[in-house]
Amino acid sequence: MRISSNTFQMQWLTAMRQQQSKLADIQQQISTGLRVSTAADDPVGAAQVVLLQQGMNRLDNFATNSETARRRLSLEENALNQVTDTLNRVRELAIQAGGGTLPAESIRAIAVEVRELLNNLLGAANSQDGEGRYLFSGNRVQNKAFDLVAGVVVYNGDDGIRTQRLAENRTVQEADPGSRVFNAIRDGNGTFAIGADGANTGTAYYSSATLADPTAWIADTYTIAFPTPDTYAVANSSGTVLSSGALAPGDTISFNGVSVTLQGTPAAGDTFTVRSSRNQDLFTSVMNLASDLESFSGSPVDRARLNSGLNGALSNMDQALANISEFRSQVGARLNIIDSQRNNNEETSLQLSQALSNVRDVDYAEALSSMEQQLFSLEAAQKIFARTRTSSLFNVI
């Protein structure tokens, strides 16, 4: 078969273009640091790169979610700490006012501070996350959580629970609705609450009210009546008398697992009510305390009314503090979950990054060796082409 000189030249030109193309590819890899830039470089590797990059992008999103949740939970923790400090101060003032020796002017001065502390509580309950979103409004994050309207604190949020996704199968609650934190608090001792009738004219007040036997308690409304200053009778809501007898200051009245200790002397016809506990927001508890302090006149009868109100306020403060403490514990647990999951995500991200580098990034030692080989092959092809391009049969005749 006859092969012309032109055919030789075309073959060597094609070979040189191939060598130059390979050399250009290697130079591109070295300059970019990427072995796989397009799917044409390595179809299988390119598919792996896409999957690995998607995984890393998801982890980046989870990291952003974690930081958002951590910031909001930290702000909630600060707000709950402030509420705890404020409630403890309210409790101290209630104890101070119950000493039995302070004049009416001092009691009313305490009431002024209690009102200021109420404003502090509202401020903490209306905390925001730095983006204008209210922490304790549930899902209604644009609504101010609580407003004081005509002497009543109104909740403007809902019961919604907001969460952030930390991993494919793990979420964390990023906030608590104010309806649970501040409103869903059982008054009294959590089982029952006791109060003196506002029309009482005696000096009797209760100094303690405990549930001595929880198994004997029957949820109902009970009335402790005093037919005479030295006798009592306890009746349920149906009028059935459960307990009765003589009474002296400091005596304890017991019924259905309840123990109530009374001080002072009741007037005939005075009554106390013992009822099942119900939800009462902590703001109302503080406002009731302030009202009791503000209305104190200094009379013995009024002091007895105040003492009963103060003991009720102390029970309500204890219940509120226990509820806030529970949510503080939950917030702390969620922050620990975020830290733990973030560490797991960072480890996974490192593994994905290493796998991505193995698939996508260039091995410089291998690439430089290949470039040397390609340069050698190209130079050899160029020399051979130069010699064959000028060869002719006439040169040897």
Q: What is the pLDDT of residues 25-42, one digit of tens each?
A: 555 555 555 555 554 555
CATH code of the domain in which 90 resides = 1.20.1330.10
Of 221, 244, 219, 223, nearest to 235 by C-alpha is 223
Q: What is the pLDDT of residue 107?
A: 95
Q: Would you state the pLDDT for residue 351?
A: 76
pLDDT tops 60 at residue 48 = yes
Summarize pLDDT for 206-254 with one digit per residue, the tens.
999 999 999 999 999 999 999 999 999 999 999 999 999 999 999 999 9
Same domain, yes or no: 79 and 169: yes
Model pLDDT, residue 130: 84
- The per-residue pLDDT for 106 is 94
The C-alpha atoms of residue 173 and residue 69 are separated, in whole angstroms, by: 8
Does 20 fall in a domain?
A: no
The reported pLDDT for the residue numbered 184 is 94
Instruction: Give 305-348 pLDDT, tens digit per residue.
Output: 999 999 999 999 999 999 999 999 999 999 999 999 888 888 87
Band (143; pLDDT cuts 50, 70, 90): very high
Return the pLDDT at 357. 57
Query: 123 Cβ partners below 8 Å, 6+ apart?
Result: none
Q: What amino acid occupies position 104?
A: A
Name the band, by pLDDT with cuts 50, 70 and 90, for residue 17.
Answer: low
The two three-digit tokens of residue 270, written as one number: 């005075």
Question: Which regions of the chain does DSSP assign to beta strands (E)?
Answer: 146-149, 152-155, 163-167, 170-173, 192-196, 205-211, 221-225, 231-235, 241-246, 252-255, 258-263, 271-276
- Please state the domain count of the chain: 2
In a domain, 96, yes or no: yes
Higher-confidence residue of 130 and 146: namely 146
Residue 123's pLDDT band, with cuts at 50, 70 and 90, is very high
User: What's the pTM value of the predicted model, to 2 decimals?
Assistant: 0.79
Q: What is the pLDDT of residue 362?
A: 55
| pLDDT, mean of residues 166-190 | 93
- pLDDT in the model for residue 214: 94
Identify the pLDDT of residue 55.
72
pLDDT over 90 at 83, yes or no: yes
Q: Does residue 15 lie within any of the structural domains?
A: no
pLDDT given for residue 379 in this prediction: 61
Asked if residue 196 and residue 155 are part of one domain, the reply reads: no
Mean pLDDT on 360-386: 57
Q: Is residue 376 scored above 60 in pLDDT?
A: no
- 279-305 confidence digits (pLDDT tens): 999 999 999 999 999 999 989 999 999
62: pLDDT strictly greater than 90: no
* Assigned domain for 48 exists: no
Cα atoms in the Cβ-side hemisphere of radius 13 Å centred on 336: 6
The pLDDT score that the predictor gives to residue 92 is 96
Check whether 43 has a pLDDT greater than 90: no
Lowest mean pLDDT across 5-19, 191-205, 213-227? 5-19
pLDDT of residue 6: 60
Q: Is residue 354 part of a domain?
A: no
Query: Do 84 and 181 sit in the same domain of this protein?
Result: yes
Contacts of 35 (CB under 8 A, 6+ apart): 29, 41, 42, 45, 359, 360, 361, 362, 363, 367
Examine the domain organization and report whether 95 and 199 are in the same domain. no
Residue 21 has pLDDT above 90, yes or no: no
* Residue 180 shares a structural domain with residue 209: no
pLDDT at 56 over 80: no
pLDDT surpassing 60 at residue 4: no
Residue 6 maps to a domain? no
The pLDDT of residue 47 is above 80: no
Verify that 145 and 260 share a domain, yes or no: no
Does residue 361 belong to any structural domain of this protein?
A: no
Chain centroid offset of residue 376 CA: 66
Same domain membership, residue 222 and residue 241:
yes
Do residues 63 and 150 both lie within one domain? yes
Mean residue pLDDT across the chain:
84
User: 209 and 114 in one domain?
Assistant: no
Backbone angles phi, psi at 191, to 5 degrees: -110, -45
Domain housing 343: 57-186+317-348
